[in-house]
Amino acid sequence: MAGVAFGGAALSGGFALAAAGYQTSTGFAARHETTHAQQIETTKRYISEFEDAYRRDEVSEEDWKQYLAIRDKARESEKVYKDSINVYKAESTFKFIRKWKLRSQVRNNKKKLRQSNRLLRSHYDVRLPNLSQGRSTEFLFYPELFIRCI
């Protein structure tokens, strides 16, 4: 009798552990999908602002060319981040070591996307300081990011 009770408890514990792992996994993916959507909107807003300034002829050709390179890098960062989230979601919960490594990749790709967005914002702020006054000072110019992104 004690063996049956012990087996039932072990089986129940195993199911509880699997359920907890699945819930943690889906929560992580959901949070990152939300962040991805927010970052895409941020990227779109920065792109729109700079392109509007270009259409108003407030941007030099050299600044426009730099912007195009930064924009392409930001869009690539969006894709890489989204792909890493999808790879994470597709991986089995039972492959927890692989899943753990994929979490790090997702986080690193999120960081790169945010850096790309900061670079877009800082490019706008530095190139068009009169238009960007009164905006958030959260985005500062980071020359080292510009070098890495191009």
For residue 104, the 8-state DSSP code is: H
If you write DSSP's letter for every residue of 37-82 in order, what string do you get?
A: HHHHHHHHHHHHHHHHHHHTT-S-HHHHHHHHHHHHHHHHHHHHHH
Mean pLDDT of 77-94: 93
8 Å CB contact between 67 and 146: no
Q: How many residues does the chain have?
A: 150
For the stretch 19-65, pLDDT in tens is: 444 445 578 889 989 989 998 998 899 899 889 989 999 889 999 99
Whether this model's pTM surpasses 0.85: no
